[in-house]
Structure 1
């Protein structure tokens, strides 16, 4: 998908303030049993099709509204993914602005996860 230039500039700006990791790092953390919150930040129809095992749904439109109830600990490790890593970067930046200190955006998103051949659940 080709993204518009202003959107890409906004995402690049967010990326200057957030932490990112790749899909292989997230898979390794899951395999190791590391305790962290994996948030699927896509639209509800995308979530309904498939998701990364152990992910919880918190779409882009409700994340900031619902995060404090779902994860009140500002030091909790939170990994956010979306389709390709753009929306999750925007969301991670907002969570950092809200005071969360250990937020990571998964670059490549679920498309990168699929390309790597990692499992999904329906």
Structure 2
């Protein structure tokens, strides 16, 4: 998907300040039972179709509003993912600005996970 220049510029700037990891990094953590909190920031309809194992849903539109209820400890390690890595990088930047210190955005997102052939779940 081709994104607008302004959006790409915003994401590129956020990428300079946010930690990232790869789809393979997340898979290794999952396989070793060391996966930290994994949050899917996609839209609810995307989540309902399928999502990564052990993920919880907190959409990009409400994450800033609800994160402190779900995760009151700002030291908690959290990996965020979206469809391709753009929305999660912006959400990670936002949570970092809110004081969360261990926020990571998964590069490649859901599409990268699916393309790698890793399992997805539907509830």
Alignment TM-score > 0.5, same fold: yes
The offset of 1:36, in angstroms, is 1.0
How do residues 67-106 of structure 1 correspond to structure 2 at under 5 angstroms?
Answer: 67-106=67-106
Query: Which residue number corresponds to residue 116 of structure 1?
Result: 116
What is the aligned length?
Answer: 122
Structure 2: tracts of 5 or more residues without a match? none
Query: Which residue number corresponds to residue 27 of structure 2?
Result: 27
RMSD: 0.6
SS in 1 for 2:21: strand
Query: Which residue number corresponds to residue 43 of structure 1?
Result: 43
The offset of 1:35, in angstroms, is 4.5
Structure 1: tracts of 5 or more residues without a match? none
SS in 2 for 1:51: coil
SS in 2 for 1:9: helix
The runs of 4+ residues in structure 1 deviating greater than 2 Å are none
- Scaled by the length of structure 2, what TM-score is found? 0.98
